[in-house]
Amino acid sequence: QKRALHDFRPDLVHVATEALVGVAGHRWARDRGLPLVTSYCTNFPDYLSGYGLGWAQGWCWHHLRNFHGQAEVTFCPSHATLDDLRGRGFHERMRIWSRGVDSELFSPSRRSEALRREIAPGADLILMYVGRIAPEKRIGLLMDAFPRIRARAAGMGKRVALVLVGDGPALASLRRTAGPDVHFTGYRRGQALAEHYAAADLFVFPSDTETFGQVVTEALASGVPAIAPARGGVMDTVIPDETGRLFEPGNADDLAEQALSLIADDLLRTRLARQARTSAERRSWAAIFETLFADYARVVAEHRANRPAMHGSTPPDHTTKGSPTRDGVVTR
């Protein structure tokens, strides 16, 4: 790997993980005096609590502050994440690098009545969750809220089903304990995943530890309004009464109330579905990467002006103007 990096001769190194490969890339860039940028993508400290390791949160935050503090820039996927990190003592050299969505793959045009009947037989409305079936995703909160949603929707004359798409360590136990009208599809990807999103009427996302929430954006692109907690990165995309509704984090009653408000109002739900699709269409990957590449160029220029190559290192050949690539580096 080191030989491949040396031969590639990058102008900039973008480390997208704090794990071992990220530590190695971090050190490799520093040893050669190259500009280093990092991404903060995963809320590891909050995840620890879901696995009974809350006692390690302080150490984890210390490691993350140190890791990202040595970068010229740290990219965050949402404004809520950036604000949270600043409040926890991270450096000020942070910028937003949001996420795009493939609005051709994820589209309302993929809606299929046949698939709806297959995944939720007899349902009038489908609530859907897509993602990892694991404790850190707060699936238990959704399972607590759904019986209330189902019962009150029945009083409106509407049969509601909950469909969970994904796999993970909590799947087996949820299958054993799930009540009526709860269905599991297992892991889906590509076109099959897109078809499942489009089959839903509402997307319900209980996790309040997300730095962005890519699955929420994919649901919006599919024309499905989202119900999500008023915390974390989802707040950049779930706009109340525009693309969905927000509920109080950790509050199953409020989750149920927000879902029921949209179940009861067909016209509002249809309007939000249309606006959800429109909002996602503005999030093209091309536009997202154009912004990132401009930030790369700015970092490289500032590094050359302010931090000459370290003594004894072999700097890259910068005789040709760099052009960015999707591999997280700026090449010659």
Separation CA 96–CA 76 (nearest Å): 5
Residue 109 per-residue DSSP state: G
Residue 236 per-residue DSSP state: G
pLDDT of 52 reads 77
Q: State pLDDT tens for residues 257-270.
A: 999 999 999 999 99
Separation CA 310–CA 312 (nearest Å): 6
Judged against a pLDDT cut of 50, whether residue 329 lies above it is answered with no
Q: How confident is the model at residue 216 (pLDDT cuts 50, 70, 90)?
A: very high
Give 271: exposed, middle or buried? Use CB within 10 Å, 0-12, 13-18, 19+: middle
Q: Cα angle vertex 143, ends 142, 146, to 5°? A: 80
Q: How confident is the model at residue 56 (pLDDT cuts 50, 70, 90)?
A: confident
For residue 57, give the amino acid letter. Answer: Q
Separation CA 274–CA 267 (nearest Å): 11
Closest among 24, 6, 26 to 317, alpha carbons compared: 6
Q: How confident is the model at residue 320 (pLDDT cuts 50, 70, 90)?
A: very low
Paired tokens of 173: 């136990």
Q: State pLDDT tens for residues 240-297.
A: 999 999 999 999 999 999 999 999 999 999 999 999 999 999 999 998 999 999 999 9
Separation CA 194–CA 211 (nearest Å): 22
Q: State pLDDT tens for residues 81-108.
A: 999 999 999 999 999 999 999 999 999 9
Q: Tokens 């030989």 — which residue?
A: 3
pLDDT of 309 reads 47
pLDDT of 316 reads 45
- Buried b vs exposed e over 244-262: b needs ≥16 C-beta within 10 Å? bbbbebebbebbbbbbbeb
Q: What is the largest CA-CA distance in the chain?
A: 76
Q: Cβ contacts of residue 278 below 8 Å, gap of 6+?
A: none
pLDDT of 307 reads 63
Judged against a pLDDT cut of 90, whether residue 325 lies above it is answered with no
pTM of the predicted structure, to 2 decimals: 0.85
Q: Residues 14, 40: contact at Cβ < 8 Å?
A: no
Q: Tokens 């490691």 — which residue?
A: 63
pLDDT of 308 reads 54
* Residues linked to residue 165 through DSSP beta bridges, in sequence order: 130, 186
Q: Can you list the alpha helix ranges (DSSP code H) found in the chain?
A: 2-8, 20-31, 44-50, 57-69, 79-87, 113-119, 139-155, 171-177, 190-199, 214-221, 252-264, 266-281, 285-306
Q: Residues 304, 12: contact at Cβ < 8 Å?
A: no
For residue 42, give the amino acid letter. Answer: T
Portion of the chain with pLDDT greater than 70, in percent: 92
Q: How confident is the model at residue 44 (pLDDT cuts 50, 70, 90)?
A: confident
Q: Residues 125, 201: contact at Cβ < 8 Å?
A: yes
Who has greater pLDDT, 228 or 326?
228
pLDDT of 57 reads 86
Portion of the chain with pLDDT greater than 90, in percent: 77
Q: How confident is the model at residue 332 (pLDDT cuts 50, 70, 90)?
A: very low
Q: How confident is the model at residue 1 (pLDDT cuts 50, 70, 90)?
A: low
* Residues linked to residue 130 through DSSP beta bridges, in sequence order: 165
pLDDT of 49 reads 74
